[in-house]
Amino acid sequence: MANKYNYNQQMNIKYDHLELINVPAIVAENKEKWFNQTLTQINGSVARIGIVEGEYHWHKHDDDDEFFFVLDGKLFVDLEDRIIELNPMQGVTVSKGVMHRTRAPKKTVMLMVETATIDPIGDE
């Protein structure tokens, strides 16, 4: 997905239903600082893997909630009035319309669940 940011966001569905999803293999293959890959579609939503290090830009999604769940590393979800720190096996849902950005001080692997039609760049 081409954008003005230096993110590699693969919106294609990588795995069909009943196909094994091997997260360690995806992580091992990745060499980028900010990489998202849609893993599978579940009804009208998708599960995505994010392998990130550094900062995403401030943004919001007018019509979509986002769920972030850290598998490895540490993720900060900056909100306008506070910061939520996520460690492995912790998650948070950011409600639609809430301005936010994510930051990872070191390589972090997270699972995201969101609608299949969401634009990860946000509604700026």
Give 48-59 pLDDT, tens digit per residue: 999 999 999 999
Asked if residue 124 belongs to a domain, the reply is no
| Count of the separate structural domains present in the chain | 1
State both tokens at 39: 């893993």
Which CATH number is 38's domain given? 2.60.120.10
Going by pLDDT thresholds of 50, 70 and 90, the confidence category of residue 121 is confident
Give 55-83 pLDDT, tens digit per residue: 999 999 999 999 999 999 999 999 999 99
pLDDT for 2 equals 41
Asked if residue 17 belongs to a domain, the reply is yes
Q: What angle do CA 101, 28, 12 make, to 5 degrees?
A: 60
Going by pLDDT thresholds of 50, 70 and 90, the confidence category of residue 118 is confident
Q: Please give the Cα distance from 101 to 107 (Å, whole number).
A: 16
Asked if residue 123 belongs to a domain, the reply is no
Residue 16 CB neighbour total at 10 angstroms: 8
Asked if residue 35 lies in contact with residue 51, where contact means CB atoms within 8 angstroms, the answer is yes
**Residue range of the domain that includes 28:** 8-115
User: Pick the residue with more confidence: 9 or 91?
Assistant: 91
